[in-house]
Amino acid sequence: MRPDGIIFDLDGTLVDSLAEIAWAANRARAAIDLEALPADAYRPWIGLGLRHLVASMLGDELDHRIDDLVVGIRTVYETHSGERAAAYPGIEPLIASLRELGVPLAVLTNKPHGPAQRLVAHRFDQGVFGSVIGQREGIEPKPDPAGAMEIVEELGGVPERWWFVGDMTIDIETARRAGMRSMGVTWGFAGGNDVAVELRAAGAEAIVDRPDEVLLTIGLA
């Protein structure tokens, strides 16, 4: 069945932005005299929003420095989002094929809204995605389905004919709560040998190891 559209997660699904996230966070850490952390240290903290990342790297959800660090990272992102991120191999051909087939595409991420839009604008052609939604005031972050439902309202169709594609269990949960079909990818931040098992346990309808498998999975190849 031809889908009404596809929503992609951003970090870890469309783009490898680990180095960029680490760079921005370390800039903010330096501003309050904290030592830099290696990029891989940030990997398990990505995906649940900026405040979660900051609280995780400090090891305390009540740390008084959280707000300053959140503001600091946002400030860096405002200017530099997208500069140190790159599309995963195979993503650009996949997006081009979906565009040629006329499938509506969107992005839903827990990255702050402004930086998310700038990253997409920096790495993809204008108009490729009909909607790009990041974390912003008035809309709950994933796995709340509000953002996904906003995209369906904006671009048309019905939720059960949309796919949600992401690299984390939070993406699968978002799809389930929105009544969408879900596809997990194994190349993202979650990584490791157990990622497919975790995505399947979360309820992923399909698991793909390469971007070119997405078309086959949704029946367009």
CB 125 within 8 A of CB 27: no
- Which strands sit side by side in the sheet containing 206-208, from one edge to the other? 131-135, 105-112, 5-8, 162-166, 181-185, 206-208
Listing DSSP states for 75-134 in one string gives HHHHHHTTTT-EEPTTHHHHHHHHHHTT--EEEEEEEEHHHHHHHHHHHS-TTSSSEEEE
Torsion sign, CA atoms 7, 200, 170, 52:
negative
Q: Which residue has the tokens 């469309």?
A: 14
Torsion sign, CA atoms 94, 100, 102, 105:
positive
Distances (CA, A) of 216 to 2, 8, 96, 186: 12, 16, 15, 16
CB 205 within 8 A of CB 181: yes
**Across-strand partners of 131?**
106
CA distance 131 to 177: 20
The catalytic residue positions are 9
